[in-house]
Amino acid sequence: MRYLILLLIVALSTFYVVEISNSYAENAEWSTEALMPTIRTEHTAAIIDDRIYVIGGFDRNGDVIKRVEVYDISKNEWIEVEPMPVALHHASATSFEEKLYIIGGFIDGWNPTSKMYIYDSIEDSWTEGDSMPTARGALTTQRYNNYIFAIGGMTSFGPTTINEMYDIEKGTWMEKEAMPTAREHLASGIVGDKIFVVGGRVQFGSNLNNNEMYNINEDKWEIMEDMISERGGLAATAIEESIFVFGGESRISTFSNNEQFNSIDSIWTIREQMPTARHGLVAIAYNFSIFVIGGGTEPGYSMSGINEVFTPSEFREIENTRVEDIVSETNVSNQIKVEIVENEENNQPGIIAEIVDPFDSCQLVDRCLSPNEQTSSRIIYYVFVIIIIILLLAIGFTLISLYKYNKLKRK
């Protein structure tokens, strides 16, 4: 009878562990996809159809790079396209139709630039666009219809409140209502005709939790509910009515924070943390998932090729819903994207070459990751495995003791 009870305990414990593990796996909101070939930080990114273009930044050696790598979401593969004309870091990118618009950043060290470079994804070629009125890096940009808004950043004189609008059709810049708080290393997301600008830094590197909303149609700013944590060097994007804000850094650490702002209720919510804390990263939304790519795992000059994907649990049931049923007619470049069958013209041989450089093929990526790169699901799994081992050992010792006891009793 004792043996049967012990076996029953083992069976129930195993069933409990498996059920808990499966339940957690089903509820986990983070997953990991193909690593970016070139580890980098302080890069920028934008999406065209189902391809995420990652541009510039610092590489593993701390050098500023021109390299542009493209993540094909449907294939979970990376390819390389024509590099930028110049090497940039801390630039900002957005897209319109089949083109990327790379605006501002720092060049030749830490000199802010006003340049705009335009990438044609069909021709795989770059041209120089119309420069911003104000040179700056570490800024944020958003596109609304055929207008691009370049907000904040760092000029030669420090953080700025500048808000300049570019008319894509006319090729002209116009100054708009300035942001209330001067800041750089900030992030933003757009919901309808409203841009929410979050976090950032002021002079001497102090982090902020400011959340200020720009009403495009009214050309007015409104102070919103502050973000839960103070962060600079962060990334943000939007899904439906919510802004999601990821990562960042302080002088002594990087952040794994993931916070959601509901623009309808004006409420912040703490969401499941990023598996890997990072700064100088990018966040791009596609359908109901957000791809959080690259960035430094330690403060300052550190890089990674991490590609972690956040899918909020509340959106999983409708992840494959047709985009016209859930999004406004405003097709915003870093918001929700419907999965589109690739145009055969984009697959012409010679236009896009696969990356074959073994030095940049992610073989060295693990060396630059922080010790907490393991996901919480794996940690829980290992804890339960240890518990099972302890239970089995305890049961084994108990059975041996019972056997010895019965043997001595017979004597």
Are residues 241 and 171 part of one domain? yes
What is the rounded distance in angstroms from the CA atom of residue 126 to the CA atom of residue 115?
A: 13
Matching residue, tokens 């009878």 = 1
Q: Which whole number is the average pLDDT over 295-320?
A: 89
Categorize the per-residue pLDDT at 396 as very low, low, confident or very high, splitting at 50, 70 and 90: confident
Are residues 346 and 199 part of one domain? yes
Quickly list H helices, 54-149. none
Are residues 18 and 161 part of one domain? no
Matching residue, tokens 């994007």 = 237
Helix (H, G, I), strand (E, B) or coil at 369: coil
The per-residue pLDDT for 408 is 63
The per-residue pLDDT for 52 is 98
At residue 407, φ and ψ (nearest 5 deg) are -65, -40
In a domain, residue 404? The reply is yes
DSSP code of residue 133 = S
At residue 126, φ and ψ (nearest 5 deg) are -115, 145
Lowest-confidence region among 40-44, 234-238, 392-396: 392-396
Which one, of 349, 374, 249, 227, lies nearest residue 301 by Cα? 249
- Looking at the predicted structure, is the pLDDT value of residue 204 above 70? yes
Are residues 163 and 19 part of one domain? no
The per-residue pLDDT for 410 is 63
pTM to 2 decimal places = 0.75
Q: What are the angstrom distances between the C-alpha of 326 and each of 88, 296, 323, 330? A: 36, 34, 5, 11
Helix (H) or strand (E) holding 19: helix 2-27
In a domain, residue 151? The reply is yes
Are residues 396 and 351 part of one domain? no
In a domain, residue 31? The reply is no
223 contacts 209 by C-beta, under 8 angstroms: no
What is the rounded distance in angstroms from the CA atom of residue 178 to the CA atom of residue 152?
A: 9
The per-residue pLDDT for 53 is 98
Are residues 387 and 333 part of one domain? no
DSSP code of residue 384 = H
Categorize the per-residue pLDDT at 291 as very low, low, confident or very high, splitting at 50, 70 and 90: very high
Helix (H, G, I), strand (E, B) or coil at 371: helix
Are residues 273 and 379 part of one domain? no
Return the exposure string of 97-134: e unless at least 16 CB atoms fall within 10 Å of the residue's CB, then b: eebbbbbbbbbeeeebbbbbbbbebeebebeebbebeb
136 contacts 154 by C-beta, under 8 angstroms: yes
Categorize the per-residue pLDDT at 218 as very low, low, confident or very high, splitting at 50, 70 and 90: very high
What is the rounded distance in angstroms from the CA atom of residue 319 to the CA atom of residue 290?
A: 12
- Looking at the predicted structure, is the pLDDT value of residue 244 above 50? yes
The per-residue pLDDT for 22 is 40
In a domain, residue 7? The reply is yes
Percent of the chain at pLDDT > 70 equals 76
The per-residue pLDDT for 102 is 98
What is the rounded distance in angstroms from the CA atom of residue 303 to the CA atom of residue 405?
A: 61
Q: Which whole number is the average pLDDT over 122-141?
A: 98
Greater confidence (320 vs 175) lies with 175
* Average pLDDT of the residues of the chain: 83
Q: How many domains is the chain built from?
A: 2
Are residues 394 and 337 part of one domain? no
Lowest-confidence region among 162-166, 175-179, 339-343: 339-343
Task: Note down the domain range covering 75.
Answer: 38-360
114 contacts 156 by C-beta, under 8 angstroms: no
**Region label for 54, one of left (φ > 0), alpha (ψ between -120 and 50) or beta (otherwise):** beta
145 contacts 163 by C-beta, under 8 angstroms: no
**Best-predicted range by mean pLDDT among 251-260, 348-357, 364-373?**
251-260
Helix (H, G, I), strand (E, B) or coil at 121: coil
The per-residue pLDDT for 363 is 30
What is the rounded distance in angstroms from the CA atom of residue 80 to the CA atom of residue 357?
A: 11
pLDDT tens for each residue of 327-342: 444 444 444 333 333 3
